[in-house]
Amino acid sequence: MCKCNELLWIFTQLPDDYIVLDTETTGLPDENGPPDIVTLGITVVKHREIAESVEFKIRPQKPISAEALSIHGITNQQAAEFESVDAQWNPISGYLKDQLIVIHNASFDWPILLNHVARYGLSMPPVQGVFCSQKAAIPWAQATNLPCSHRGPSLDVLTKVLGVEDIRAKTNGIHGAKIDSQQTAQVTEVMRRNGNMD
CATH number for the domain that contains residue 178? 3.30.420.10
Pairing of the two strands 37-46 and 100-103? unpaired
Residue 166 has pLDDT above 50, yes or no: yes
Confirm if 85 and 116 have CB atoms less than 8 A apart: yes
The answer to whether residue 187 scores a pLDDT higher than 90 is yes
pLDDT of 164 above 90: yes
Give the count of alpha carbons within 13 A of 66, CB side only. Answer: 0
pLDDT of residue 3: 67
Question: What are the DSSP calls for 72-124, one per residue?
Answer: H---HHHHTTSBPHHHHHHHHHHHHTT-EEEETTHHHHHHHHHHHHHHTTPPP
Q: How confident is the model over 63-118, as pLDDT tens digits?
A: 999 999 999 999 999 999 999 999 999 999 999 999 999 999 999 999 999 999 99
Average pLDDT score, the chain: 94
Q: To the nearest whole percent, how much of the chain has pLDDT over 90?
A: 88
Whole-angstrom distance, CA of residue 169 vs CA of residue 91: 29
In this predicted structure, what is the pLDDT of residue 198? Answer: 55
Per the structure, the count of domains in the chain is 1
Domain that includes residue 162, residue range: 5-195
Q: How confident is the model at residue 1 (pLDDT cuts 50, 70, 90)?
A: very low
